[in-house]
Amino acid sequence: MARRTTLDLSGSWRAAATGDDDRHGRYADDALDDSGWECVPVPGHWSSTAAFADHDGPLAYRTRFDASGCRPDDGDRSFLVLEGVMAAADVWLDGTYLGDTSGYAVPHWFEVTGLVRERDEHLLALEVARDPVGTGRTRDLTGALGRSALLGRGPNAGGIWRPVLLHTTGPVRVRHCRLRCPQADASKATLAVRVVLDSDEPRTITLRTWAARAVDTVAASASPLGGADISAPSALDRAVAVVEREHSLATGENRIEFTVPVPDPELWWPRALGGQPLYDVGVDVLVDDEVSDGHRWRTGLRQVAMSDFVATVNGERLFLKGVSVGPTRELLADATADEVAADIALAADAGLDLVRVHGHIARPELYDEADRRGVLLWQDLPIQWALQRQAKPAARDLARHAVDELAHHPSLLVWCGHHEPWGGDPRTWRGGGTAELRRSRLHWLTAQVLPSWNRTMLDRSVAETLASSDGSRPVIPHTGVWPHLPQLSGTSTHLWAGWRWGRTRDLGRLLRLWPRLGRFVAEFGAQAPAGAGELLDVDGDAAERWPDLDWGELADRFALEAVPVWRRVPPDLHVSLDGWAAEAQAHQAEVVARNVETLRRLKYRPTGGFAAFALADAAPGVTAALLDHERRPKPAWDAFVAACAPVIAVLDELPDPLRPGTRTTLDLHVVNDRRTPLEGLRAVVSVAWEGREDEPFRKVGWAGEVGADEVARVGKVDLTVPAPPPDVVHRGPVVVATVELFEGDELLARRVARRPLAG
CATH number (domain holding residue 96): 2.60.120.260
What pLDDT score does 314 carry? 98
Say yes or no: 411 and 459 in one domain. Answer: yes
Q: What is the pLDDT of residue 128?
A: 94
Q: What is the DSSP string of 253-319?
A: EEEEEEEEEEES--B---TTTS----EEEEEEEEETTEEEEEEEEEE-B--EEEETTEEEETTEEE-
Of the candidates 399, 533, 569, the one whose C-alpha atom is nearest the C-alpha of residue 471 is 399
Mean pLDDT value across residues 634-662: 95
DSSP state of 547: T
Let me know whether 396 and 274 are in one domain: no
Residue 80 lies in a domain: yes
Mean pLDDT, rounded, for 122-138: 69
**Amino acid at the residue 301:** L
Write down the pLDDT at residue 20: 62
pLDDT value, residue 2:
46
Average pLDDT over residues 231-260: 88
Q: pLDDT tens digits for 340-354?
A: 999 999 999 999 999
Average the pLDDT over 26-53 and give the result: 94
Decide: 691 and 728 in contact? Cβ < 8 Å: yes
Name the more confident of 353 and 543.
353
Q: What is the mean pLDDT of residues 387-410?
A: 92
Cα distance between the two ends of the chain: 87
Task: Say what the pLDDT of residue 713 is.
Answer: 95
132 has a pLDDT exceeding 70? no
Q: What is the distance between the alpha carbons of residues 106 and 104, in angstroms, rounded to a whole number?
A: 6
pLDDT at 689: 94
At residue 215 the predicted structure's pLDDT band, cuts being 50, 70 and 90, is confident
Q: Would residue 368 count as lying in a domain?
A: yes
Whether residues 671 and 713 share a domain: the answer is yes
Q: What is the average per-residue pLDDT within 357-380?
A: 97
pLDDT of residue 135: 37
CATH code, 236: 2.60.40.10
Question: Which of these ranges, 69-73, 309-313, 353-357, has the smallest mean pLDDT?
Answer: 69-73
Tens-place pLDDT, residues 665-688: 999 999 999 999 999 999 999 999
Q: Is residue 557 assigned to a domain?
A: no
611 conformational bin, left if phi > 0, alpha if psi -120 to 50, beta if neither: beta
Residue 148: predicted pLDDT: 84
Tell me how many domains the chain contains: 4
CATH of the domain at 499: 3.20.20.80
Lowest model confidence (mean pLDDT) among 472-486, 630-644, 656-670: 472-486
Between 272 and 104, where is the model more confident?
272
- Determine the average pLDDT of the residues in 317-332: 96
User: Does some domain include residue 560?
Assistant: no
Q: What is the pLDDT of residue 139?
A: 43
Q: How far apart are CA 200 and CA 216, in angstroms?
A: 36
Q: Are residues 445 and 483 in the same domain?
A: yes
In a domain, 579, yes or no: no
Q: Which pLDDT score is estimated for 133?
A: 41
Asked if residue 656 has pLDDT above 90, the reply is no
Could you tell me if 110 and 257 lie in one domain?
no
- Judge whether 14 lies within some domain: yes
- Identify the pLDDT of residue 624: 97
pLDDT of residue 22: 67
Q: Sign of dihedral through CA atoms 545, 548, 554, 556?
A: negative
Same domain, 464 and 607: yes
Question: For residue 473, what is the DSSP state?
Answer: S
Q: What does the pLDDT read at residue 318?
A: 98
Looking at the fold, whether 365 and 483 belong to one and the same domain comes out as: yes
Residues 163, 179: one domain? no
Residue 580 lies in a domain: no
pLDDT at 238: 86
Note whether residue 331 is domain-resident: yes
Q: Of all helices (H) and strands (E), which one includes residue 227?
A: helix 224-227
Tell whether the model's pLDDT for residue 505 goes beyond 80: yes
Q: Are residues 192 and 161 in the same domain?
A: no
User: Which of the listed residues 168, 193, 208 is the one where a domain comes to its end?
Assistant: 168
Domain end position, chosen among 142, 168, 194 = 168
Q: What angle do CA 349, 325, 522 make, to 5 degrees?
A: 100
**pLDDT confidence bin for 424, thresholds 50/70/90:** low
For residue 23, pLDDT beyond 80: no
Q: Which of 272-281, 414-423, 538-547 has the highest mean pLDDT?
A: 272-281
Q: What pLDDT, on the 0 to 100 scale, is given for residue 250?
A: 97
Note the pLDDT of residue 434.
57
Helix boundaries (H) for 515-604: 542-545, 551-558, 562-568, 577-601
From 200-209, 225-234, 484-493, 639-648, the region with the lowest mean pLDDT: 225-234
Structural domain range at position 728: 651-756
Q: How much is the pLDDT for 587? A: 96
Mean pLDDT score of the chain: 90
Instruction: From 103, 134, 168, give the residue that closes a domain.
Output: 168
Mark whether 656 and 624 lie in a shared domain: no
**Beta bridge pairs of residue 378:** 356, 414
- Do 701 and 685 belong to one domain? yes
Question: Is there a contact between 447 and 422 (Cβ–Cβ < 8 Å)?
Answer: yes
Instruction: Give DSSP secondary structure letters for 374-441.
Output: T-EEEEE-S-BS---TTHHHHHHHHHHHHHHHHTT-TTEEEEE--B-TTT--GGGGSS--HHHHHHHH
Residue 451 is predicted with a pLDDT of 77
Cα angle 24, 25, 27; round to 5: 120
The predicted pLDDT at position 140 comes to 53
pLDDT at residue 144 is higher than 90: no
Asked if 44 and 107 sit in the same domain, the reply is: yes
pLDDT at 218 over 70: no
